[in-house]
């Protein structure tokens, strides 16, 4: 092979190598940007979800409650049906899809513990006996509103953290504050 042919061959190889490296870097960067956009998009969807919780939750205050029922089967509901319904409706508004109905025991397995100063709309306050209320509106760290299906009152009720019952019953029997894990939310098809 002559020098000119050898140089031409080396030039073609170096151009090909350059293009391979360039397209590899370009593809990697495009992939990273797409992942960042998806993460940002999920974060925006999560914020919409959290903002929809109070609007949706307040619609159910006063609905009669009965253990084992959901609104689709009867005009009553229990805690797990109430919480899953609120989550489902809020995720739809946020362009997500909620994992689906599950009994309270299973729902609580799909949560992670958070601290009181980290609370967000949709978090749960859980007692040692696994009874729970959903935190649906937060004014500040010391005042937030909760909703749950009260067996004693036989209806969905709301109360806030400055209520004496919160101090003498809920905090005295507190297991902790919990938030749904990210895998409970799916992209909407």
Domain containing residue 145: CATH number = 3.90.1720.10
Q: Does residue 35 form part of some domain?
A: no
If phi over 0 gives left and psi between -120 and 50 gives alpha, with beta otherwise, what is residue 82?
Answer: alpha
Q: Does residue 82 form part of some domain?
A: yes
> Is residue 130 over pLDDT 50?
yes
> Is residue 154 over pLDDT 60?
yes
Residue 147 makes CB contacts below 8 A (sequence gap 6+) with: 57, 60, 61, 82, 86, 133, 134, 136, 156, 157, 158
CB 74 within 8 A of CB 63: no
> Is residue 93 over pLDDT 50?
yes
Hey, which of 10-14, 19-23, 35-39, 95-99 has the most confident mean pLDDT? 95-99
Q: Does residue 25 form part of some domain?
A: no
Q: Does the predicted model carry a pTM greater than 0.95?
A: no
Domain that holds residue 180: 52-184
CB 180 within 8 A of CB 110: yes
Element (DSSP H or E) covering residue 97 = strand 96-98
d(CA 84, CA 76) in angstroms, rounded, equals 14
- Between 108 and 41, the higher pLDDT residue: 108
What average pLDDT does range 77-94 have in this prediction? 91
> Is residue 84 over pLDDT 50?
yes
Q: Which of 95, 125, 128 is nearest to 111 (CA)?
A: 125
> Is residue 160 over pLDDT 70?
yes
Residue with structure tokens 């170096």? 14
Tally of structural domains, the chain: 1
Helices (H), 59-155: 79-93, 104-109
The average confidence (pLDDT) of the chain is 82
What average pLDDT does range 33-51 have in this prediction? 71
Q: Does residue 74 form part of some domain?
A: yes
Residue with structure tokens 């689906």? 100
Percent of the chain scoring above 90 in pLDDT: 51
d(CA 86, CA 102) in angstroms, rounded, equals 13
> Is residue 126 over pLDDT 60?
yes
Percent of the chain scoring above 70 in pLDDT: 72
């Amino acid at each position: 092979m002559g020098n000119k042919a050898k140089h031409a061959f080396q030039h073609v190889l170096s151009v090909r190598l350059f293009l391979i490296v360039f397209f590899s870097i370009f593809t990697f960067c495009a992939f990273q940007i797409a992942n960042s956009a998806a993460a940002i998009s999920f974060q925006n969807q999560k914020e919409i979800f959290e903002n929809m919780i109070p609007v949706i939750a307040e619609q159910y205050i006063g609905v009669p409650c009965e253990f084992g029922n959901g609104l689709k089967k009867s005009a009553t509901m229990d805690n797990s049906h109430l919480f899953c319904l609120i989550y489902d409706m809020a995720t739809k508004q946020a362009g997500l899809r909620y994992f689906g109905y599950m009994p309270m025991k299973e729902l609580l397995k799909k949560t992670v513990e958070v601290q009181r100063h980290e609370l967000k709309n949709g978090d749960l306050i859980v007692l040692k006996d696994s009874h729970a209320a959903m935190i649906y509106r937060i004014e500040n760290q010391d005042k937030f509103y909760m909703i749950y299906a009260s067996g004693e009152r036989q209806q969905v009720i709301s109360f806030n953290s400055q209520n004496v019952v919160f101090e003498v019953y809920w905090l005295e029997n507190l297991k902790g504050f919990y938030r749904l894990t990210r895998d409970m939310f799916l992209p909407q098809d």
